[in-house]
C-alpha cells in the first residue's frame, strides 16, 4: 500500500470540497473495492476521503411508489428492510445475494454503483428498474449513469447521495454467480412497470450493464418465459475469460432471463 492522506468527511459538502482540493483524491464508501485495490498497489491516490461518518447518507424511505435508498446504506440493510421487501422484493433479494455477510455489512449501494464493476449486481437493478441516481449536484437516470466498464457519468467531486427506485408491478433478479466471489458471471434483472418492461444484464458485457431491447419488446407483448426462450444474444460484445466464454455467457443471458421472468410472474 502506498502512502496517502486519510480524511474523514463531516458532510457531503465537506467531502466534495476535500476531493476537489486534492490533486488525486478518491472517495471511500464501504471500502470493499478500494481497500483491496490500495493493498495491491493498483491505485496511488494522494488522499482518501471517507464518507463513513455522514449519517445523512444512510437510510431507506418510501414516498408513494418511490423507494429512496441513501448512498451509504449497506447491502445487509437493504436486504433486511421491510420497506424494500414490501415494495420491491426483487431488490431485497438481489442485495441478499451480494458477496458474503462481511461484504453485505460493509459494502454500500452508492459505493457499488460508483465503482460500476461490470460484474456487480446493483447496476442491473438500477437499469432494470429505471432508477434515478441522486448526487449533490443533480439527478441522473440510470440509463445515462453507467457509461462503460468502471466508468460512470459522475463529474470530479460529485458525490452520490441516494438512489430512487420506482416500484414495479413485478420484478425479479437471477444470476449465475462465481462460486468464489459471488460476483455475477451473468445476472439478469427483469421488471414490468408503468414505463413498460425492462431487461438489464450484468456480468456479461464488456462495457458493463446493458439492456436487451428484443427481450423487452417480447415481454411487453407476453410476459412469460416462453417469450424470451428463443432470443439469441450476440456474442460480439460479451466478456470471455477463465470463468466463462462469450458463447456460454450469451447462453446464460437467455437462461437467467427465463428464470427471472418465471420468478417475477
109-148 pLDDT, tens digit per residue, is 999 999 999 999 999 999 999 999 999 999 999 999 999 9
Confidence of residue 265 (pLDDT cuts 50, 70, 90): confident
Q: In this model, does residue 263 exceed pLDDT 90?
A: yes
pTM of the model: 0.96
Mean pLDDT (whole number) for 81-102: 97
Mean pLDDT (whole number) for 11-17: 95
Q: What is the pLDDT of residue 94?
A: 98
In angstroms and rounded to an integer, the radius of gyration of the C-alpha atoms of the chain is 18
pLDDT digits (tens, 9 = 90+) for 207-244: 999 999 999 999 999 999 999 999 999 999 999 999 99
Q: What is the pLDDT of residue 128?
A: 98
Q: What is the pLDDT of residue 1?
A: 85
Mean pLDDT (whole number) for 140-157: 96
Q: What is the pLDDT of residue 145?
A: 98
Mean pLDDT (whole number) for 67-89: 98
Q: What is the pLDDT of residue 195?
A: 86
Q: In this model, does residue 13 exceed pLDDT 90?
A: yes
Confidence of residue 174 (pLDDT cuts 50, 70, 90): very high
Amino acid at each position: 500500500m502506498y502512502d496517502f492522506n486519510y480524511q474523514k468527511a463531516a458532510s457531503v459538502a465537506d467531502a466534495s470540497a476535500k476531493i476537489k482540493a486534492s490533486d488525486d483524491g478518491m472517495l471511500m464508501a464501504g471500502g470493499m473495492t478500494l481497500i483491496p485495490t490500495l493493498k495491491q498497489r493498483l491505485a496511488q491516490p494522494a488522499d482518501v476521503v471517507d464518507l463513513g461518518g455522514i449519517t445523512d447518507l444512510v437510510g431507506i424511505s418510501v414516498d408513494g411508489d418511490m423507494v429512496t435508498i441513501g448512498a451509504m446504506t449497506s447491502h445487509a440493510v437493504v436486504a433486511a428492510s421491510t420497506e424494500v421487501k414490501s415494495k420491491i422484493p426483487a431488490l431485497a433479494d438481489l442485495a441478499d445475494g451480494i458477496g458474503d455477510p462481511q461484504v453485505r455489512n460493509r459494502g454500500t449501494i452508492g459505493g457499488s454503483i460508483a465503482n460500476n464493476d461490470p460484474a456487480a449486481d446493483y447496476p442491473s437493478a438500477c437499469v432494470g428498474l429505471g432508477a434515478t441516481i441522486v448526487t449533490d449536484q443533480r439527478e441522473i437516470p440510470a440509463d445515462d449513469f453507467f457509461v462503460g466498464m468502471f466508468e460512470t457519468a459522475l463529474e470530479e467531486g460529485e458525490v452520490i447521495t441516494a438512489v430512487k427506485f420506482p416500484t414495479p408491478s413485478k420484478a425479479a433478479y437471477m444470476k449465475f454467480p462465481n462460486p468464489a466471489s459471488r460476483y455475477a458471471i451473468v445476472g439478469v434483472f427483469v421488471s414490468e412497470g408503468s414505463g413498460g418492461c425492462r431487461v438489464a444484464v450484468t456480468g456479461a458485457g464488456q462495457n458493463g450493464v446493458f439492456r436487451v431491447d428484443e427481450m423487452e419488446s417480447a415481454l411487453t407483448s407476453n410476459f412469460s418465459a416462453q417469450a424470451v426462450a428463443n432470443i439469441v444474444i450476440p456474442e460480439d460484445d460479451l466478456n470471455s475469460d477463465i470463468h466463462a466464454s462469450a458463447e456460454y455467457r450469451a447462453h446464460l443471458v437467455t437462461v437467467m432471463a427465463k428464470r427471472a421472468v418465471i420468478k417475477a410472474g
